[in-house]
Amino acid sequence: MLPSREMGAGSLEPPRLILHNFLTSEECKELEFIHKSNSTVGYRPNVFSTTLSHLIATNSSPFLIPFVPIRERLKEKVEHFFGCEYELCIEFTGLISWCRGASIGWHSDDNRPYLKQRHFTAVCYLNSYGKDFKGGLFHFQDGEPATLVPMAGDVAIYTADSCNIHAVDEIIEGERLTLTLWFSRDSAHDEDAKLISLLSKNMPELKLPMLASSNMYWFSLDPASHQQLGFDICLARMHVLGFDICSCQAEGLFSDSTELLMEPLQLVRGNELFKQEFVNILHALQAVQFHHWKASDLPDAQSEVEPGDVVRLSKSQQEVVRSLKSQFLRDHQVVEMIFSCATCSRNQQNFDWERFSAAIAGLEDYTCKLHKELLMSLPYWRTHGIISECS
């Protein structure tokens, strides 16, 4: 029987648990980096998502490691609070962000026949109402608390059935970011088994990231218009941080212009070209987002930028940059509306390329460290059939 509290005569409070500061600030920021480096267009309008299977498919499987202890802690909390007599399995893990215009009305999380395997929900807030976004308050239809004000580190745990019908207000500004997990009693829906199988089929050698299908990164307010309006979300996320791209290839080499983002490219800031090549736009995006996450923590003069590493854009390169923006950022107003934020710095003057170069080295070290942990953990996961910290 599910634990509950008495609300009054003849009524019971819906079973739910709110935990404050369950995640640390650093855990929230790390997951934000992973999401903004890898997300694709989501399942609802103006929503973006990053799933664990997507990370594996795009050669970013080392990024699974930061999820492991958090998933384990959440699972223990859910089992303890709801008094489960046997171990639950995790049915789904995803980073989900809601941008301006996104909302959802009253619903339960098992409100479709194909969702009936979902028994419990955990929503972890990774950023804060008022500071990072406006709107997006979470409401329960019945019981207390009636409204949740999302704050970084807080977690809401509740049953996925009609006992906890809820809604989310429309996002007015910014990007509301969560880590969401669903838990099931049905082992046939065990996410861990599927992820271990994917990892076993694709031995996780340390590789540079690889893009998924281009349409997974194309956002438009009007899906019917598709390529006529909208933008590539990888380039858009870099653009709001002050970066553009210049292709290392001649445009005429590709019959399909979307292939340009899958080929080597260089970063541009203002009139400056950073000459280091990135294998594709996802590789460049991860470097830009890592710099945004860690720049303030990097020591000065950790890495030197050699003369010639940063050069002034030539006229032909300026034309390539403009051409790429016209192809992949076709609706600048929507880019600003969806992704612009108060913490995005676009100051083009005196950009610290040495610190950026240090961030690239830092990203390589960070990824290598996670990859080593993944290689050490995978045999244990295979043996026990569960993704957990190795005991």
Are residue 259 and residue 170 in the same domain, yes or no? no
Are residue 87 and residue 181 in the same domain, yes or no? yes
C-alpha Rg value of the chain to the nearest Å:
22
Determine, yes or no, domain membership for 133: yes
Q: CA-CA distance, 48 to 29, in Å (whole number)?
A: 17
Domain boundary among 189, 210, 231: 210
CATH code: domain of residue 73:
2.60.120.620
For the chain, list residues with pLDDT below 70.
Answer: 1-11, 85, 204, 223-228, 250-257, 300-305, 307, 341-349, 391
Question: Quick one: pLDDT at residue 8?
Answer: 35
Amino acid 143 reads G
Domain boundary among 210, 226, 250: 210
Residue the block writes with tokens 């040495």: 354
Determine, yes or no, domain membership for 298: yes
Q: CA-CA distance, 336 to 341, in Å (whole number)?
A: 8
Are residue 165 and residue 231 in the same domain, yes or no? no
Question: Quick one: pLDDT at residue 252?
Answer: 42
Are residue 83 and residue 131 in the same domain, yes or no? yes
Q: CA-CA distance, 176 to 178, in Å (whole number)?
A: 7
Determine, yes or no, domain membership for 206: yes
188: exposed, middle or buried (Cβ count in 10 Å: 0-12, 13-18, 19+): exposed
Could you tell me the residue range of the domain that residue 118 belongs to? 16-210
Q: Say what angle helices 353-384 and 281-294 make with each other, to 10 degrees.
A: 100
Per the structure, the count of domains in the chain is 2
Are residue 206 and residue 224 in the same domain, yes or no? no
Determine, yes or no, domain membership for 2: no
Determine, yes or no, domain membership for 189: yes
Determine, yes or no, domain membership for 345: yes
Are residue 320 and residue 277 in the same domain, yes or no? yes
Transcribe 91-127 into DSSP letters.
Answer: EEEEEEEEETT--EEEE-TT-SGGGTT--EEEEEE-S
Q: CA-CA distance, 358 to 288, in Å (whole number)?
A: 12
Determine, yes or no, domain membership for 379: no
Are residue 184 and residue 223 in the same domain, yes or no? no
Are residue 189 and residue 246 in the same domain, yes or no? no
Are residue 178 and residue 300 in the same domain, yes or no? no
Are residue 232 and residue 205 in the same domain, yes or no? no
Question: Quick one: pLDDT at residue 32?
Answer: 98
Q: CA-CA distance, 309 to 294, in Å (whole number)?
A: 22
Are residue 225 and residue 161 in the same domain, yes or no? no
Give kind and range of the element (H or E) at residue 164: none
Strands 265-269 vs 272-278: parallel, antiparallel or unpaired: antiparallel
Are residue 178 and residue 273 in the same domain, yes or no? no
Determine, yes or no, domain membership for 391: no
Among the listed residues 75, 114, 37, the one whose alpha carbon sits nearest the alpha carbon of residue 283: 37
